[in-house]
């Protein structure tokens, strides 16, 4: 079964919009796990507009499943991850002013940098994953960095799913076949939702984990976290 890691950035965004501590990020993280979530993901950014650095430092006290920290490996981010020692770090090449992640790494152009960063994290026994577009040469480039996993960037799939699911999934299938041949683990995330997740999982063999935040939180406004988490688990199973 593909594991579900819930990205809680949107909970922090809601809290920050009014100040104070409502909703309580730590309680939400604990509750999500009690409802069945198999991991918690955060993506702290330098401006701390949603997840704050003190959130990242406090979350190990309530995360009893898998803790995944995403972000651009600038020095401050690297220091934060090394201090926390999460189960997994996902390297994302987002600009500091990006609203959300919008592209994977050019693993060929940035090979030397990624090799250095991956080596640093792995020397501290932190599993590494690199955010990539479903392009075979980028998957191959990721393998050459020494990373444990890749995370397939699924926004394009999500955008095209309603038009033609088979066409939407095609490049992801090709990238997955290569990743499986190269013996590199596969995660996925970005704009996956209750409608498109099951088809994606069915067509991506050996998919280890999905990270879902914005859609899951939005769907839960209507249905409730306690209902939505099992709905995702059913689709992932």
Tally the domains of the chain.
1
> How do residues 177-200 score in pLDDT, each as one tens digit?
999 999 999 999 999 999 999 999
Residue 99, pLDDT > 80, answer no
What pLDDT band is residue 29 in, cutting at 50, 70 and 90? Answer: very high
What pLDDT band is residue 24 in, cutting at 50, 70 and 90? Answer: very high
* 219 included as an active-site residue: no
Residue 71 three-state SS: strand
* Percent over 90 (pLDDT), the chain: 95
Listed in sequence order, the residues at least 6 apart from 34 whose beta carbon sits closer than 8 Å to its beta carbon are none
User: What CATH number is associated with residue 226?
Assistant: 3.20.20.70
Q: What's residue 194's pLDDT? A: 98
- From the candidates 43, 50, 151, 209, give the one annotated as an active-site residue: 43
Residue 31, pLDDT > 60, answer yes
Residue 123 three-state SS: coil
> How do residues 141-163 score in pLDDT, each as one tens digit?
999 999 999 999 999 999 999 99
Q: What's residue 94's pLDDT? A: 79
Q: How far is the CA of 219 from the CAs of 164, 194, 195, 234, in angstroms?
A: 23, 8, 11, 15
Residue 102, pLDDT > 70, answer no
Q: What is the DSSP string of 1-13?
A: --EEEEE-HHHHH
Residue 37, pLDDT > 80, answer yes
First-to-final CA distance of the chain: 5
Q: What's residue 96's pLDDT? A: 60
* 214 included as an active-site residue: no
For residue 91, count CB atoms less than 10 angstroms from its CB and return exposed for 0-12, middle for 13-18, buried for 19 or more. Answer: buried
What pLDDT band is residue 103 in, cutting at 50, 70 and 90? Answer: confident
What pLDDT band is residue 35 in, cutting at 50, 70 and 90? Answer: very high
pTM of the model: 0.95
Nearest of 218, 158, 169 to residue 192 by alpha carbon: 158
- Mean pLDDT along residues 40-60: 96
Residue the block writes with tokens 């690297």: 78
- Mean pLDDT along residues 209-224: 98
Computed over every residue of the chain, the mean pLDDT equals 96
- From the candidates 50, 66, 151, 190, give the one annotated as an active-site residue: 190
| CA–CA distance, 42 with 29 (Å, rounded to integer) | 10
- From the candidates 70, 151, 209, 219, give the one annotated as an active-site residue: 70
The dihedral formed by the CA atoms of 12, 15, 19 and 22, expressed in degrees to the nearest 10: -130
Asked if 86 contacts 51 with a C-beta cutoff of 8 angstroms, the reply is no
* Percent over 70 (pLDDT), the chain: 97
Query: Where are the alpha helices (H) located in the chain, listed in sequence order?
Result: 9-18, 25-34, 53-58, 75-84, 111-122, 136-143, 155-160, 165-181, 197-203, 214-223, 225-236
Range of the domain at 146: 3-236
């Amino acid at each position: 079964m593909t594991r579900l890691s819930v990205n809680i950035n949107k909970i922090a965004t809601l809290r920050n919009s009014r100040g104070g501590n409502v909703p309580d990020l730590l309680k939400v993280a604990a509750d999500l796990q009690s409802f069945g979530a198999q991991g918690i993901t955060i993506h702290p950014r330098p401006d701390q507009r949603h997840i704050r650095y003190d959130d990242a430092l406090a979350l190990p006290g309530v995360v009893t499943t898998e803790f995944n920290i995403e972000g651009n490996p600038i020095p401050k981010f690297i220091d934060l991850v090394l201090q926390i020692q999460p189960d997994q770090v996902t390297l994302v090449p987002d600009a500091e002013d990006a609203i959300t992640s919008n592209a994977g790494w050019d693993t060929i152009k940035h090979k030397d940098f990624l090799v250095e960063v991956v080596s640093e994290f792995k020397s501290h026994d932190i599993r590494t994953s690199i955010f990539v577009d479903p392009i075979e040469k980028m998957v191959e480039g990721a393998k050459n960095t020494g990373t444990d996993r890749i995370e397939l960037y699924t926004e394009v799939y999500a955008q095209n799913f309603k038009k033609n699911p088979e066409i939407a999934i095609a490049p992801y299938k090709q990238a997955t076949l290569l990743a499986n041949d190269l013996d590199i683990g596969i995660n996925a995330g970005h704009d996956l939702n209750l409608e498109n997740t099951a088809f994606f999982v069915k067509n991506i063999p050996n998919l280890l984990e999905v990270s879902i935040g914005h859609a899951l939180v939005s769907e839960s406004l209507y249905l409730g976290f306690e209902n939505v988490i099992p709905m995702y688990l059913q689709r992932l199973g």
